[in-house]
Amino acid sequence: MRLLPLAPGGPRRGSPRHLPSCSPLLLLLPLLLGGCLGVSGAAAGSRRPNVVLLLTDDQDEVLGGMTPLKKTKALIGEMGMTFSSAYVPSALCCPSRASILTGKYPHNHHVVNNTLEGNCSSKSWQKIQEPNTFPAILRSMCGYQTFFAGKYLNEYGAPDAGGLEHVPLGWSYWYALEKNSKYYNYTLSINGKARKHGENYSVDYLTDVLANVSLDFLDYKSNSEPFFMMISTPAPHSPWTAAPQYQKTFQNVFAPRNKNFNIHGTNKHWLIRQAKTPMTNSSIQFLDNAFRKRWQTLLSVDDLVEKLVKRLEFNGELNNTYIFYTSDNGYHTGQFSLPIDKRQLYEFDIKVPLLVRGPGIKPNQTSKMLVANIDLGPTILDIAGYSLNKTQMDGMSLLPILQCFPDCVCEDAYNNTYACVRTTTALWNLQYCEFDDQEVFVEVYNLTADPEQITNIAKSIDPEILGKMNYRLMMLQSCSGPTCRTPGVFDPGYRFDPRLMFNNHGSVRTRRFSKHPL
């Protein structure tokens, strides 16, 4: 006899997240991951997939942040999966971006704010974290060409941290913005060399510049290696400078007057309680204007996405390319009488858009699964075939969720966490499983008579046996070390003795039950 707890996606780190169990990939992945398999020895035409990560700055999900991006929704969301519960562990630029790059929670990457002293692009960050970011692994271990364009970390380029000459480990092509988001009059580090831009729309508008250098990369990169692109736009971050052709749009759009708009936050932290309620008319006018301009700047992002997808298609790369679209944090405009900003613990600040398309992802899917930006790195490494066990990342791969096919029915991921006990003897091969959901659904199979697991015998099996298996499952779920090796799940003559939990009963197990693990 052997007890085998099966819990493919139990709660993690106090979070209610669960992995669905519907994909065969979930079980196969540990066998496939042993490094970047298939890269060095891949035959022509069987190259690892390419990956594009589009990252916006301060784009909310809750207050309609995706509304202006009609082309992006059509080209990415409707062609793949939209995550409706995607969060960031820190609703602030630098800690959030550090989480994306490292796959770690802030308490593990130690970037606590947007300053050098807070570890944002500091020497310590460069030494300890940058060599272990997922792009660095893609480059050094998986043979990917890696391309970065746009805002990196808020203190990037600071003289005290190597200036613009510093190019983080792992990037083959580096087009990074000095410091924080701007639309005009900024400096880029182009592979370590500074280039200043002015305020001529046709050559300087940053979102368009990022689009152009991205298209150039797609046209001139090597075709013998897979590629990873990270395109990090200034939009819709302040100062919300829209392209000239979009500065008259959304004139009738105002910040949403939702239930927490312009109300006083009671029983909340003092930072929230200090807000003046009601807000002044000038504050409301200001935040409405900010809301409108934010949407205007996103129209250029929508154009960027369209150009990128069309170029991938034209170059014959689209079918072998994953495209992720997300933001580093949300935003608020008037909620709890806070005029504009992010960094609070409320949904409007911590929830972000997350859209993904790519090989094996069916179109028009929505997942309610609770995911976080620390999962992006692990997912992309998984795509590249790199074993997550070799990293120190906190996140998990979403690839099994994304590729739940041929007929994915696991949108409600909360319904897919279960625990089982298994009994095998000469006469019995029983599997007993309970789902950790509102139904507390039970499935029992007699695999001796029904190896294909067609008939659930939970309602027909002897209630005494059912009770024993239920009890053993409970004991198993709280076991540790030796107590996990206690004999006996089902035996007609077996009576559970708690003392068995604390003594060595190996001889009993050897005599009465098979030791063969399942």
- The SS3 of residue 98 is helix
CA-to-CA dists, residue 183 to 239, 254, 310, 412, angstroms:
8, 23, 24, 40
CA-to-CA dists, residue 120 to 152, 228, 231, 317, 394, angstroms:
10, 23, 19, 35, 19
Residue 230: CB minimum distance to Ca ion, A? 15
Interface mask (CB under 5 A) for Ca ion, residues 58-87, using x and -?
Answer: x-----------------------------
Of 236 and 488, the one with the shorter C-beta distance to Ca ion is 236
Of 181 and 403, the one with the shorter C-beta distance to Ca ion is 181
Is 349 a binding residue for Ca ion by CB under 5 A? The answer is: no
Contact 321, 50 (CB under 8 A): yes
CB atoms within 10 A of CB 389: 9
Residue 181: CB minimum distance to Ca ion, A? 8
Residue 228: CB minimum distance to Ca ion, A? 21
Closest CA to 434 of 417, 459, 413: 417
Which residue among the candidates 36, 93, 142, 404 is catalytic per the annotation? 93
317 Cβ contact list (under 8 Å, min separation 6) = 50, 218
Dist. CA 226–CA 126, nearest whole Å: 25
Closest CA to 182 of 223, 141, 235: 235
Residue 58: CB minimum distance to Ca ion, A? 4
Segment interacting with Ca ion, rule: CB under 5 A, options 57-65, 142-150, 496-504, 510-518: 57-65
Of 57 and 61, the one with the shorter C-beta distance to Ca ion is 57
CA-to-CA dists, residue 161 to 12, 116, 125, 131, 478, angstroms:
36, 8, 10, 16, 49
Contacting residue, 22, 93, 138, 430, with Ca ion by CB under 5 A: 93
Q: Which residue is nearest to Ca ion (CB)?
A: 93
Beta bridge partners of 12: 15
Of 57 and 349, the one with the shorter C-beta distance to Ca ion is 57
CA-to-CA dists, residue 31 to 27, 306, 386, angstroms:
8, 37, 12
Contacting residue, 302, 317, 328, 394, with Ca ion by CB under 5 A: 328
Contacting residue, 48, 57, 226, 388, with Ca ion by CB under 5 A: 57
Of 68 and 330, the one with the shorter C-beta distance to Ca ion is 330
94 is a catalytic site residue: no
How many chain residues bind Ca ion (CB under 5 A)?
Answer: 5
Of 137 and 210, the one with the shorter C-beta distance to Ca ion is 210
Residue 154: CB minimum distance to Ca ion, A? 9
Q: For binding to Ca ion (CB under 5 A), which residues are involved?
A: 57-58, 93, 328-329
Q: Tell me the catalytic residues.
A: 93
